[in-house]
Structure 1
Amino acid sequence: MDIIISNSSGKPIYEQITNQIKNMIISGELKSGQSLPSMRLLAKELRISVITTKRAYEDLERDGFITTLVGKGSFVSETNTELVKEEQLKVIEEYLLKAVDNAKVSGIKLEELHDILDVIYNE
């Protein structure tokens, strides 16, 4: 599993791990039932504390992305990916609504907003 930790990111390491694993599940890179590395192994591979990976796995489990079975490990949950994508779309819609409101207040036209979005999306 390829997880990249950025020390210059403003996000905590556990959150970076959580977000990257969520994205892998949503994109289908990680399939339902697939096992994840143990917390200790992931911590060793990323050269971080086991406490950090434990926090990431706990967040993933709380959000329904993984299931942990004592003595067996952690596995990608049998989640409805469409429901997960719908939740993500709702979050994105909220951000875009704020961006559009700011653009209107600043006098930025729709075409300019489209151009900005194209540039950001294609980075």
Structure 2
Amino acid sequence: MKKSSLYKGCLEPILLRLLKDNGRMYGYQMTQMVKEITKGELNITEGALYPLLHKLEEQGVVETETEMNGNRMRKYYSLTKAGKKHTVNAMDEMKAFMQSLEFIVNPKPIVG
């Protein structure tokens, strides 16, 4: 199994956490930060990143702001008020999911 398939369902909470911790960010910046944090283990492709960001924008979770940077336009993403609440829920879900995986990966003997 490719590692990327394991990460796929975790991409939304990852992006939400980045935005929560860093305020506003542009797409390439997000991909590079995830790559750095995970020591190269997780590489987010544009094909996965931008459709998710657009979906989150449609849902009112993130908002965008466009700015000129040198001679090019750059689109920044940030959490909305609703997005901040959504992030708390997503982190709770992620923690519960990680605990469930821990039970599978390192099962404890049932004493009884």
State the TM-score bracket (shorter-chain normalisation).
0.3 to 0.5
Give the TM-score normalised by structure 1. 0.42
Say which one has the larger Rg. Answer: 1
Give the TM-score normalised by structure 2. 0.45
User: Which protein has the bigger strand share?
Assistant: 2
